């Protein structure tokens, strides 16, 4: 497996990402590991949505990304989709095994978005072979899921973003398996998109990168930071450290007065006893 890391310049409409590769076996990401699924008919690699991975890498040092290797074919959509989903699940499991406790984000565009959601929620669209959702063991590792132009977009899903109020061409029939990830999913779909909105404007499907790059990066970075805060252990007191209620604490600020009062009391008792003799 190769991990794509590189340089991202600017954001939004002018965002550019220049990837180069290194072996994943060299080291686990010290930041966020992103698994990216390109859209239909895009060249092998991460495709257009790689710009999101590139910009996240700038915001989270030590991050890495890998493009899922699959056909991304539109003429054999069902088999291509299934292959991409299977490979995505394999990559998640491989990284989880190699880097336990590592943080993962899943990114997908177009057919790649459909693949991401099938991996997370299982396939439930009519006409497609039903598949299972991600194993529960991976749930704590996946901190963010972001998709653009998902053909399986389903109206009224809580994670929907963008202007669309219509389901896509392959809407999901069951969203139950997605529920553990609800707060970690954002799926952008706009009115007119031929695939996610069943619209008739072919231009819309390619506009997400100009319109939503910045907000998507902010979402992913925010979810990563949340996950780090949740897993950072509380400070452990140093053994022997003085606390306000400890014996050592009584010998700190204000303690001399307490000691002096005790000595004075003791002295009075002694002197009183002598007098009685």
pLDDT of residue 207: 98
Q: What is the CATH number of the domain that holds 104?
A: 3.40.50.1820
pLDDT of residue 131: 87
- This prediction has a pTM of 0.77
pLDDT higher than threshold 90 for residue 247? no
Same domain membership, residue 182 and residue 88: yes
Question: Can you tell me the mean pLDDT for 37-66?
Answer: 97
| Inside any domain, residue 239 | no
pLDDT of residue 239: 54
Same domain membership, residue 262 and residue 158: no
Summarised one tens digit per residue, pLDDT across range 158-193 is: 999 999 999 999 999 999 999 999 999 999 999 999
Report the chain's mean pLDDT, rounded to a whole number. 82
Same domain membership, residue 219 and residue 187: yes
pLDDT of residue 94: 95
Domain total of the chain = 2
Q: Give the whole-number percent of the chain exceeding pLDDT 70.
A: 74
| Inside any domain, residue 149 | yes
Q: For residue 159, give its domain range.
A: 2-231
d(CA 181, CA 174): 14
Same domain membership, residue 188 and residue 134: yes
- Helices 208-231, 50-59: axis angle to 10 degrees equals 40
| Inside any domain, residue 236 | no
Torsion of CA 125, 85, 116, 92, to 10 degrees: 140
* CB contact set of 45 (below 8 Å; sequence gap of 6+): 4, 19, 38, 67
Q: Which two tokens stand for residue 22?
A: 């290194």
Same domain membership, residue 254 and residue 169: no
The gap from C-alpha 121 to its chain's centroid, in whole angstroms, comes to: 16
pLDDT higher than threshold 80 for residue 112? yes
pLDDT higher than threshold 50 for residue 264? no
pLDDT of residue 233: 57
Question: Can you tell me the mean pLDDT for 237-263?
Answer: 42
Same domain membership, residue 271 and residue 223: no
Question: Can you tell me the mean pLDDT for 6-20?
Answer: 41
């Amino acid at each position: 497996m190769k991990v794509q890391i590189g340089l991202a310049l600017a954001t939004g409409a002018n965002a550019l990402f220049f990837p180069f590769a290194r072996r994943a076996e060299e080291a686990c990401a010290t930041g966020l590991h992103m698994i990216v699924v390109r859209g239909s008919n895009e060249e092998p690699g991460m495709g257009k949505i790689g710009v999101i991975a590139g910009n996240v890498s700038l915001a989270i040092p030590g991050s890495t990304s890998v493009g899922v290797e699959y056909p991304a074919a539109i003429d054999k959509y069902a088999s291509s989709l299934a292959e991409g989903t299977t490979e995505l699940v394999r990559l998640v499991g491989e990284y989880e095994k190699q880097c336990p406790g590592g943080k993962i984000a899943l990114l997908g565009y177009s057919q790649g978005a459909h693949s991401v959601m099938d991996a997370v929620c299982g396939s439930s669209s009519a006409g497609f072979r039903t598949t299972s959702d991600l194993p529960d063991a991976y749930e704590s590792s996946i901190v963010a899921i972001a998709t653009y132009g998902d053909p399986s977009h389903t109206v009224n899903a809580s994670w929907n973003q963008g202007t669309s109020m219509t389901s896509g061409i392959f809407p999901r029939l069951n969203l139950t398996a997605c529920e553990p990830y609800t707060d970690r999913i954002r799926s952008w779909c706009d009115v007119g998109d031929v695939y996610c909105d069943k619209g008739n404007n072919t231009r819309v499907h390619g506009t997400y990168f100009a319109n939503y790059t910045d907000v998507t990066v902010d979402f992913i970075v925010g979810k990563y930071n949340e996950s780090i805060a949740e897993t950072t252990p509380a400070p452990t007191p140093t053994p022997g450290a003085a606390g306000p209620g400890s014996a050592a604490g009584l010998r700190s600020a204000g303690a001399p007065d307490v000691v002096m009062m005790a000595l004075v009391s003791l002295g009075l008792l002694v002197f009183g006893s002598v007098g009685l003799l």
